[in-house]
Chain A
Amino acid sequence: MKSFLKSAVFSLCILGFFVFVCMYVTGLSGGGGGGGGATGINPEAGEAIYWGDGQCHTCHSIGTSGSATRGPNQEGLAARAEERAKEAGLSSGLEYLVESIVDPSAFVVEGYDNIMPKVYDAPIMLGREQIQAVLTYLQTLGGEPNIEAVAKYAEKIPEASGDAVAPWVPPIDVDIKEGELVFFDESRGVTCSKCHVLNGKGSKVGPDLTGIGAVQTPQYLIESVLKPSEIIVKGFETMYLMTNDGMAYNGLLVSQDEDEVVLMVDEDGAMEEYVFYPDEIAQMQKQDVSIMPGNFQDMLTTKEFYGVILFLLSQK
């Protein structure tokens, strides 16, 4: 028991030493932990962000403050920015600074790598106001801060992304590869690529879906597949055409001029072009119904449906 107690006391002494070192280091580094910070568009707030949430100091030193060497030392930056702005044909040093933050690869200082992240994107995600605060701070490095001038560039600075985006996951477990197969599988009646081009593959009956995941939300895609007539992309409206001899056609308008009207018509699953001359057309009218079939819920299993949606979302 005595030896156990001695061991316990010895272990506690080591732990005590560890806590002491941690407290000492906290005092030494001046790091009191996160949680707070200055606000507003002013150099004080900008300085706090520069050395804190903005992570700028992990790459840029300022004079003898900081030790990072990955990016240029920012001492005298405001004066240097004026010279570089002139070389680049920009109106002011401030514009140069804004450009450098908004598009870090626009001006890469010689001798350094193009490694600067976009600070308004994940994972840093500075807000517009925070970036403006940093700009005012940078102006103080060899110059005078001008908050009004910085405010004029507000629109040019993107707002932090990601905040409003809610995560979307399919309600059931699906395989993206299965979605791709369904999209391109020509052996079945529901082949999407019969009407849509994706990365150069497929037919141009409907809208080109290349990069659709980058511009559309999951909700939009789900609705567009299940209720195709709800939103019809401009230029892909269905045209109803009746000839003088009483024949009616529903199809996509390919072209229309004084000499002829060309319609793309579905003929038993195959899309064919029909040419009509003005003197044989009795009536022509845009329809509110999409040419896209509206019964995908019957033709696809739930798994296949969400697989296709997931596949489309991955197209960026």
Chain B
Amino acid sequence: MNSKKLNLKIAFTLFLAIFLVALAINTGIAEEHAEEVVVTEASGDVEGAAEEAVEEESVPYVEDEYRNFFGIDGRLVVWIISQLHLLFAAFVLAVPLFVVIIEAIGAKTNQIKFDNLARELTKLLSTAFATTAALGGLLAFALYGLYPGFMRYMTGVFHPYMFIYALCFFGEVFFLYAYYYSWDLLKTGKGKWLHVFLGVMLNVFGTTLMMLANSWATFMMAPSGIDMKTGAVLDRSAAFFNFLWMPVNIHRIIANVAFGGFVVGAYAAVKFMGAKTEEDKAHYDWMGYIGNFIGLAAFIPLPFAGYYLGREIYSASPVMGNIMMGGAFSWTFIIQAILIGMMFVGGNYYLWNGMARIKGAERYTPYIKYINIVIFFCFAVWLTPHNLPLSGEERALIGEQYHPFSKFFGVMAAKNAVVNLLILSTFFSFLLYRRANKGETMPFKSHGNGARITLVITVGLTVMYLIWYSMGLKGQDLNEAIRPYMSPLLTCIKIQIVALICALFLTFTNRGKLAQTLLFVVAASISVVYFWYYGFVLMEKANMVLRFLSVTQVSIVISTLIVNTVIDVFLFKNAKEVGGIQWGKIPNRAQYALLLLCVAIVTLMGLMGFIRSGLRMNWHVYGFMQDKSAGAFTPSIAYMGWVVALIVFLFLSLVAIVFWLGSLYGRKEKHV
């Protein structure tokens, strides 16, 4: 009976929604044509003559370059729809990436809980997929309808790839539904691995789809393969494989995984808070932990991918690069810093709260307050602007344009240093969490030759990368006066290489913890302390070398993260547990941290979407096709804030509805 009532309610709600949408559209059309109707009625008495006159006066059809949407600015409509589509697409592309891994872990370790989790996430995926597709269709209609001239050109350039896109879409749909509906059919033995294969194919098609669409967006930013004066297509494949295509692909894949992880985390948080039984609480606590783990794991390398993308934007167009970091968009990066800072704080806060449910974690709690201080310090430095417009009075009081103390925190040298410190600190938090319920480490020798070979390969690859990069530094064609400023960078890389090799031997002699400490100390000393100072020296004397400093900094930190992760895996493999993890015994406030992470990353994606798209300023295709519409100007940050907030609100509301609809089926099953 209850189920029947519920179905009736859903049917009525849907009917009401469709009715209201139809009414709104009809009203718009009616208003648009109101004027025509009045004119027609007024001339009703001379109807026949008017018809003839219309025939005589009919003018040839001229296509508009721009239109609006029932009086609403076309740009605003496209902005909202494209960002909503992108957010849903990010979710449906990212979730299969880790669902397949979770399922494979479950199949390999025979733990049904992993399989159940993968299945639950796929259920969310299948309901979100239809919304993504619908928004994609709406976006295409909006673009062709509101920007016909621009889309005519884009279709001319990319039409062969558009057909491939459609084929990939079919492929994705096929494998998604095959993956979802064959779960019970292929649940044992070889069938399970065939099922995993279906999931892999789903990812292949999904990722290809994303990369195809990325090329259109990056072509607009850094066009290639066309005549920049006439627009003639000279080399279609060059237009596709344009300069920013791969940096955006890499950045988006990593960001999507972080996004998917945090959205899943928020879903679990809401479910956890509403759970009635201990069993449900334990399940959703674990799901939240997995979501946060995936989100943070992808979030840590994201600034590096972002840095790479930013650097390539500079290389593609120095003017665009300057607009991004020193021009109209520089202030948006302060807002970005606030959001990213919130996420790092939230992620760490969740980990620390999570340690409360782990017996043995109390050994590490004294460290948390120090990590807390470090993270807030980094956050504060990151959001310090370089220069604030000071009033005459303030300037007179201070005696100079910049604040004598805070000016040292506003420059790139300081920001780069704290980003690396933030990443190192979060990684440290993560290591503490991993070992919270573990007792003494296992001797490295006990893991056999496989562990040795893995570690040698890991250290070998990171050392090879550092050598390759330092050779690149040596080969730079620099002025003789500037060249000496490169040598400290090379020395630091050498020190890191020595530290990595020492860490390898220390681990072999069962002193893995010491090896990890050594790497942390060396990386923090070089990349944070020394390079912070040296960044100022370079700003004063050899500005050109600054870009090499940043990459050196990142390379040293990332080599530390990679090697320390591998050492940590072997240190605690098969280690005795001090106490079990009491899933479900986590305070509710930790769930709010998960919600914060989700809202912050959705907002961050909205903000970054604005920046990436806005960097083209008044160009549809940068440097070739100008945007001559009324909305060609860059809106204020406040306006952007309202629009992005609206988009985030719409996205979260739609997600809530979609997930709720998805859960109805499960509820019915349970009821039965």
Bound Cα distance from A14 to B338, whole angstroms: 12
Determine if A26 and B637 form an interchain contact, defined as CB atoms under 8 angstroms apart. Answer: yes
- A125 and B616 alpha carbons, distance in the complex (Å): 13
- The interface-forming segment of A52-60, A201-209, A227-235 is A52-60
Are A168 and B230 within 8 A (Cβ)?
yes
B227 proximity list for chain A (CB < 8 A): 168, 213, 313-314
Q: What residue in chain B is nearest A33 (Cβ atoms)?
A: B636
Least distance between B402 CB and chain A CB atoms (Å): 8
Check if B326 sits within 8 Å of A58, measured CB to CB.
yes
Are the CB atoms of A55 and B323 closer together than 8 Å?
yes
Assuming the contacts A14-B603, A22-B637, asked whether A167 and B230 have C-beta atoms less than 8 A apart, the reply is yes
A92–B156 Cα gap in the complex (Å)?
50
Interface size class of A (residues with CB under 8 A): 35 or more
In the complex, B652 has a CB within 8 A of chain A: yes
Contact of A15 among B401, B599, B634 (CB under 8 A): B599
**Contact digits for A43-80, partner B, Cβ 8 Å, 1 yes 0 no:** 00000000000010111000011111110000000000
Q: Is B61 an interface residue (CB 8 A)?
A: no
Instruction: Give the residues in chain B near A8, CB-CB below 8 Å.
Output: 656
Contact between A165 and B641 (Cβ–Cβ < 8 Å)?
no
In contact, A123 and B619 (Cβ under 8 angstroms): yes
Is B543 in contact with A55, judged by CB distance below 8 angstroms?
no
Bound: A68/B544 CA distance, A: 13
**Do B270 and A310 have beta carbons less than 8 Å apart?**
no
Q: Which 4 A-B pairs have the closest CB atoms?
A: A22-B641, A167-B231, A64-B401, A33-B636
Contact B636 A26 (CB under 8 A): yes
Within 8 A of A (CB), among B124-163: 153, 156-157, 159-160
Give chain A residues whose Cβ lies under 8 Å from the Cβ of B10. none
A23 within 8 A of partner (CB) = yes
Cβ-neighbour of B153 out of A70, A163, A167, A313 (below 8 A): A167
Question: Is B317 part of the contact surface with A, judged by Cβ < 8 Å?
Answer: yes
Chain B contact residues, majority secondary structure: helix
Bound-state Cα–Cα, A115 to B637, Å: 29
Within 8 Å CB of A31, what residues of B? 328, 331, 636-637
Q: Which residues of B contact A314 (CB under 8 A)?
A: 227, 232, 234
- Taking the complex as formed, is A19 at the interface, i.e. its CB lies under 8 A from any CB of chain B? yes
Q: Complex Cα distance A8/B637, Å?
A: 25
Q: Is B533 an interface residue (CB 8 A)?
A: no
User: Bound state CA distance, A31 and B332, in angstroms?
Assistant: 11
Contact in complex: B400, A58 (CB < 8 Å): no
Cβ–Cβ contact A122 & B624, under 8 A = yes
A18 close to B (CB within 8 Å): yes
CB distance from A38 to the nearest CB of B (A): 15
- Segment among A93-101, A134-142, A169-177 that sits at the interface with chain B: A169-177
Among residues of B, the one whose C-beta sits closest to the C-beta of A316 is B227
Question: Please, which residue of chain B has its CB at the minimum distance from the CB of A119?
Answer: B319
* Closest beta carbon of chain B to A191's beta carbon, Å: 22
Docked CA distance A15–B331 (Å) = 18
Residues of B within 8 A of A300 (CB): none
B200 within 8 Å of A (CB atoms)? no
A19 touches B231 (CB 8 A): no
- CB pair B596 A170 closer than 8 Å: no
- Knowing A64-B400, A167-B231 touch, does A15 contact B334 (C-beta < 8 A)? no
Seed contacts A10-B595, A11-B652, A213-B227; 8 additional CB < 8 Å A-B pairs: A4-B274, A7-B269, A8-B656, A12-B649, A25-B637, A34-B634, A57-B326, A310-B233
